[in-house]
Amino acid sequence: MKIIPTSIPDILILEPQIFQDSRGFFLESYNQKIFAETLGITANFVQDNHSKSEYNVLRGLHYQIIQPQGKLVRVITGTIFDVAVDIRKNSSTFGQWLGYELSAENKRQLWIAPGFAHGFLVLSEIAEVIYKTTDYYAPKGDRAILWNDPDLAIDWPLKTPPILSAKDSNAQTFKNAEVYE
Q: Which residues are catalytic?
A: 62, 131
C-alpha span between 176 and 84 (Å, rounded): 18
Question: Looking at this protein, which amino acid is placed at residue 13?
Answer: I
Question: Looking at this protein, which amino acid is placed at residue 114?
Answer: P
Residue 93, burial from CB neighbour count under 10 angstroms (0-12, 13-18, 19+):
middle
Are the beta carbons of 2 and 15 closer than 8 angstroms?
yes
- Output the CA–CA distances (angstroms, integers) from residue 168 to 95, 154, 172, in the order listed: 18, 15, 9
Per DSSP, the residues of 147-170 read: TT-TTT------SSPPB--HHHHT
Tell me the helices (H) and strands (E) count for the chain, helix number first. Answer: 2, 13
- Closest by CA to 46, choosing from 32, 34, 59, is 32
